Amino acid sequence: MLLIYLLGLFCGVNSALFYDSYSGTEITREDVKKHDKANTTFWCVNEIEPCNSTEGRRVDGSCNNLKHPSRGATHTPFVRLLPAVFDKNFEPRKSSSGNDLPLARYLRTRLISVGKVPSTIFTMLAVHYFVFMSADVLSLHDTVNYIQWKPYCCTEKGKTDHMCVPNKIPEDDPVHRFSGIRCLNMTRPESFQSIGCVKNNTVPDRIVSSTPLLDLSVIYGNLLPPLLQKARLFTGGLVKTEIEEGRIWPPSYKTQANVCFLNQRPKETRCHQMPEDGSNTLAGINLVAIWFWRYHNFIATELAKVNPCWEDDKLFETARDINIAVSLQIYYYELLPVFFGFDNMAEDGVIDRVGGFRDLYNETILPQLSLEYPFVLRWVHNIQDGTLKLHDEEGQYLRQFPIMNLTMRTGFLAVDNNIDYLTQGSFRQGSAKIDYIADPEVTERGLGPHQKVSDIVTNDLSKNRYFGFQPYVNYRQFCFNKRIKSFDDLHGIIDEERIEVLREMYERVEDIDLLAGIWTEKPMRGGFVPPTFYCLVIDQLKRNMYSDRHWYERPNRPNAFTFPQLAQIRKVTIARMLCDVGDTVKRIQPHAFLKAGFKNPIGDCKHIMSMDFSTWKDDSCGAGGGSFAHLFEQVVEKR
């Protein structure tokens, strides 16, 4: 792909085709010129090189589906599991009687209490990984919109800005009845309509700047020519790194980047020049992104040892393919089963009990993301602990720090050994308990210093309505084919006292918001999550496998793994990754998403299974290992 691009650049040849990002249909250069004039080309047009059925996964996600080349690329629409419902002019729906639904903040304070109850089961590492995998398919421009561009929605100016949709705080609010604060800043989700790709008299379709499939775009980018070209070393398949006080970092912007504008200058300067600035946003995303950045070079170094004849491109692309596969293996086979139940996921065909090849590809299913999937993942906010506890490598507790104060503050990691202590704390600290209680940092300081007051959970419920989701009972019927006609039908699904609260808050059962229903559901059998949450997430997990031509378990995809290679990938766990690239990690529990204990004791990394890269040995390279050595490996050996 890079060669094609460079030939076009220097020879004046451009064989690319243009597609309307919304419809996926091919458009002409004249159409593109109209978008250029309207300054909407970036969002509304996908420029795609002709597809080659034998090539590997493209960075920009295009040509995943050969019949629909633009699907799978960035700036393409979501699919809805149920059609949108709105009031007039696409405002949030009313209740079935025509009255306004209860205020989002009022609902939140009645349905979700505030407190700090730690989990004795799950670690903060599990929450970090959940958030990281969400970031791989989303962009944070909606949040940045009301943090940086439109922070005024609760002022007079906001009343005249259509994008402003602040959340009202009721007079008798349990927290703000005496503070005088009566408004929470928020903006509408950006859509193809608000950007200018589609007429405003159509149903708003959310637009994001990520590829819809899980492909580590938060690490490798999503545009061609990829921004990653600036970050590749072009030697040994490696990405560029910086060594600072013995630690390995992704390359940093030489000047202070806006995305890290909360860095405490002059001491905190690091802001990572990864292809996606999303890696610099939330603390959990940042940590995991650093690990995967390092892991790419770990893989490339090991591949070069067994294949000294491989050139840079082959090492890079193979390392990238393995890195993506490892991220999916950890997500599907390690993280989600501890929340969803291994048996549940196996019975639903999401994971394979045997661990062999699986070819479920169906070209009639387009590589798209359901709008419901990333939305319901907001349930994870309820298990987010508001403070990060820092530990040393011996496991001694040092101090704690509000996680919300680290949003867009990447520089914090690089001072005072903080990344070492946060890494150690990630697998030692418990998450918040799965219950009906949210951390006060999440409900009152959700954006830390970026906003005076911010209730992330209230905003979640409000966005439920601005996304146009149908009522909870309709999704319940979609998932379980059973109609709920009255509040009494919720018995057995929701605890009795919470049914009473819903009955007080909503006029009719069919008025209940999707997220409100998920908040109040009892955990599913064999798992820890609400059943409707499980259903909507599982739908997307299957869609990923069915629609991704490059799914790592496929034996027939371009550059497919051999069976022995796939078996090695299945050995990797998050604990093994941290042993390989985590700061000061020499001891860890084998199931690092779960708290350490009698059945999951912390032990030496040498007892954690690792990949055998000899299964990638290329016989054409001749006998013996390579002599390739890189600073990355030297630093790892010194730790």
- Which residues carry a binding-site annotation for heme b? 381
Binding site: residue ranges?
Answer: 381
CB burial of residue 308 (10 Å; 0-12, 13-18, 19+): middle
In one-letter notation, the amino acid at residue 613 is: F
Rounded to the nearest 5 degrees, what angle is found at the Cα of 609, between the Cα atoms of 131 and 57? 50
CB proximity list for 520: less than 8 A, separation 6 or greater: 111, 436, 494, 495, 498, 499, 501, 502
Contact residues for 562 (Cβ-Cβ < 8 A; gap 6+): 615
Tokens, residue 294 = 């390092």
CA atoms of 469 and 308, how far apart (whole Å):
54
Residues pairing with 489 in the sheet: none
Residue whose entry in the numeric block shows the structure tokens 């979501």: 78
3-class secondary structure per residue, 392-427: CCCCCEEEEEEHHHHCCCHHHHHCCCHHHHHHHHHC
User: Which residues partner with 168 through β-bridges?
Assistant: 183
DSSP H/E element including 122: strand 118-123
Which residues have CB under 8 Å from 325's CB, separation 6+?
A: 552, 561, 569
List all residues 6 or more positions away from 579 whose beta carbon is below 8 Å from its beta carbon.
585, 586, 588, 605, 608, 610
Q: Is 258 exposed, middle or buried (0-12, 13-18, 19+ CB in 10 A)?
A: exposed
Gap between the Cα atoms of 154 and 161, Å rounded? 11
| Burial track 580-589 (b if 16+ CB lie within 10 A, e otherwise) | bbbbbbebbb
- In angstroms, the Cα distances linking 137 to 78, 130, 486, 534, 614 are 11, 12, 36, 18, 32
CA angle 332, 136, 321 (to 5 degrees): 65
> CA-CA distance, 85 to 503, in Å (whole number)?
22
The end-to-end CA distance of the chain, in Å, is 37
Helix segments in 12-55, DSSP class H: 29-38, 41-44
Sign of CA dihedral 516, 519, 523, 528: positive
CA angle 182, 188, 189 (to 5 degrees): 140
Beta pairing class for 397-402 and 603-604:
unpaired
- Residue whose structure tokens are 């402003």: 164
Q: With contact defined as beta carbons under 8 Å apart, do 152 and 160 qualify? A: no
Bridge pairing between strands 603-604 and 587-588: antiparallel
